[in-house]
């Protein structure tokens, strides 16, 4: 945590997992293109729905990874500045609420 | 419903909304590529999370549209064949459960 | 399905699983009271969150069971009346959308 | 945050909102009992599903409230002890993942 907190705030919290997130997002892009091909070729509705659920879960995994990075870095980075911390916590809670509700 | 039921089973239930689903999926592909650019350019975690939630909601909208089409066509298509109907209903319920849990 | 379709519409689609649904709902009521006790006795936040997730999943299971009953009975009951069927399908899709988004 | 961090770890993070959480949980208990009455009196499936979605959303609101309290107190309370903090962050991320997936 001290390492994280020592970083300038302009370096994103997910810097150590940037490649992981990009690899996942490229795979999701492939899933979305696969879904387009399924619709174009009149695939069976239920098979498409199964793939939509898989892509949704993959997106959730990206979100949970980014959020974990964010809590570990951005949030703790602000731990010594009460005003900044309050702002960050409110922001993080809103992001979590959006995820839970999406 | 009679029109739907008269169609051969090989025509997917979403045939009337094929363009809508494709347009949505292409927009989602754009959102996923936008997310990759955000990660590549070190965007702020919370901004990325907001876009992930938007893409997730867009995928859910595709799923709900496909499911509605499926109920209206594929399921009712099978309404006069109890064995086939039982199979279709079990399949539809499983797809709904996957969506609710994803 | 013919048996279901022959029933008067006033008999709910979940009649065969009424006891299952009630048993589950009573268990969920117990979980909610358990959560109250946890908060009253200052239990650890994360332990309470684990129980909230369990209760949420149990509620989802009730919803998915009721929805399956509904598709099997109420929806097919209306299969020969296009106007009624259209109404039921729109209603079912809305209920599914609310579940997916909640 | 300093006030929170100064509290002994045995005081839960949600202490300031204990009454709010209890009031919400009691209302949810009422909703679950209402659902039992609906099933007992053969209410219409879709009306029950609407109430299940409402109860699920209410449970989510409790979870998000507890999580916000947890981040503000328990997590920051551990900010100066890297080992404890690592444990707390992993635990919080797991709780968030369970919520997102439930």
User: Cα B81 to chain center, whole Å?
Assistant: 26
- With a CB cutoff of 8 Å and minimum separation 6, the contacts of A19 are none
What is the ipTM metric for this complex?
0.87
Which one of D35, D45, D98 has the shortest CB-CB distance to C74? D45
Least confident of B71-75, B88-92, C64-68, D61-65: B71-75
Mean predicted confidence (pLDDT) in C5-21: 76
Query: Is residue B98's pLDDT more than 70?
Result: yes
- Answer yes or no: is B2 within a domain: no
A82 — contact with chain D (CB < 8 Å)? Answer: yes
Tens digits of residue pLDDT in B1-56: 344 444 555 688 888 899 999 999 999 999 999 999 999 999 999 999 999 999 99
Compute the distance between CA of residue B30 and CA of residue B97 in angstroms, rounded to an integer: 28
What is the pLDDT at residue B76?
75
With contacts defined as CB-CB under 8 Å, which chain B residues touch D46?
A: none
What is the pLDDT at residue B49?
96
- Count CB-CB contacts under 10 A for residue C71: 23
- CB–CB contacts below 8 A, A to B: 134
What is the pLDDT at residue C8?
52
- With a CB cutoff of 8 Å and minimum separation 6, the contacts of C78 are C84, C85, C87, C88
Structure tokens at D38: 């609906």
Compute the distance between CA of residue B64 and CA of residue C93 in angstroms, rounded to an integer: 7
Query: Is residue B83's pLDDT more than 90?
Result: no
- The residue that leads in pLDDT, D15 or D30, is D30
- The residue that leads in pLDDT, D3 or C34, is C34
Model pTM score: 0.87
- The domain that holds B85 is classified in CATH as 1.20.58.1000
What is the pLDDT at residue B68?
93
With contacts defined as CB-CB under 8 Å, which chain B residues touch C79?
A: 1, 76, 79
CA distance A100 to chain C (A): 8
Give the residue on D whose Cα is nearest the Cα of C44.
D12
Number of domains into which chain D is organized: 1
Q: Quick one: what percent of chain D has pLDDT higher than 90?
A: 64
- Answer yes or no: is A5 within a domain: no
- Answer yes or no: is A73 within a domain: yes
Computed over every residue of chain D, the mean pLDDT equals 88
Highest mean pLDDT out of B68-77, C86-95, D51-60: D51-60
D9 — contact with chain C (CB < 8 Å)? Answer: no
What is the pLDDT at residue B3?
46
- Answer yes or no: is D88 within a domain: yes
Tens digits of residue pLDDT in C53-65: 999 999 999 999 9
What is the pLDDT at residue D16?
87
- Answer yes or no: is A8 within a domain: no
What is the pLDDT at residue C49?
96
- CB–CB contacts below 8 A, B to D: 3
CA distance C102 to chain A (A): 6
Per-residue model confidence as pLDDT tens for chain A (102 residues):
344 444 555 688 888 899 999 999 999 999 999 999 999 999 999 999 999 999 999 999 999 999 999 988 877 778 778 888 888 889 999 999 999 988
- Answer yes or no: is D12 within a domain: no
- Answer yes or no: is B95 within a domain: yes
CA distance A70 to chain D (A): 10
Query: Is residue D4's pLDDT more than 50?
Result: no
Q: Which residues form the domain of C68?
A: 18-101
Q: How many CA atoms lie within 13 A of B12 on its CB side?
A: 23
**Interface with C, mutate which of B54, B72, B94 (most C CBs under 10 A):** B72
D83 — contact with chain A (CB < 8 Å)? Answer: no
Closest CA to C14 of B19, B16, D48: D48
- Do B45 and A15 make contact, defined as CB atoms within 8 angstroms? no
Computed over every residue of chain C, the mean pLDDT equals 88
- Do D39 and C25 make contact, defined as CB atoms within 8 angstroms? yes
Residue D75 vs residues A86, D5, D83: alpha-carbon distances, Å: 13, 9, 12
What is the pLDDT at residue D73?
85
Neighboring chains of A (3 or more beta-carbon pairs < 8 A): B, C, D
Tens digits of residue pLDDT in C89-101: 899 999 999 999 8
B37 — contact with chain C (CB < 8 Å)? Answer: no
Query: Is residue C1's pLDDT more than 50?
Result: no
Compute the distance between CA of residue D95 and CA of residue C63 in angstroms, rounded to an integer: 23
D101 — contact with chain B (CB < 8 Å)? Answer: yes
- Do D75 and A72 make contact, defined as CB atoms within 8 angstroms? no
- Do D100 and A99 make contact, defined as CB atoms within 8 angstroms? yes
Mean predicted confidence (pLDDT) in C16-30: 96
- Answer yes or no: is C27 within a domain: yes
Which one of A85, A93, A100 has the shortest CB-CB distance to D100? A100
Torsion of CA D26, D27, D28, D33, to 10 degrees: 90
Which one of A21, A36, A49 has the shortest CB-CB distance to B25? A36
Tally DSSP H helices, then E strands, for chain B: 5, 0
What is the pLDDT at residue B72?
86
DSSP string, B76-101: HHTTT-HHHHHHHHHHHHHHHHHHHH
Query: Is residue D58's pLDDT more than 60?
Result: yes
């Amino acid at each position: 945590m001290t390492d994280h907190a020592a970083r300038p705030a302009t370096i994103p919290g997910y810097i150590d997992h940037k490649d992981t997130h990009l690899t996942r997002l490229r795979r999701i892009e492939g899933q979305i293109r696969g879904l387009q091909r399924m619709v174009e070729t009149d695939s069976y509705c239920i098979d498409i729905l199964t793939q939509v659920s898989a892509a949704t879960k993959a997106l959730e995994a990206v979100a949970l990874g980014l959020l974990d990075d964010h809590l570990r870095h951005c949030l703790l980075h602000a731990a010594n500045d009460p005003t900044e911390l309050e702002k960050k916590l409110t922001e993080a809670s809103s992001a979590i609420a959006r995820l839970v509700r999406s």
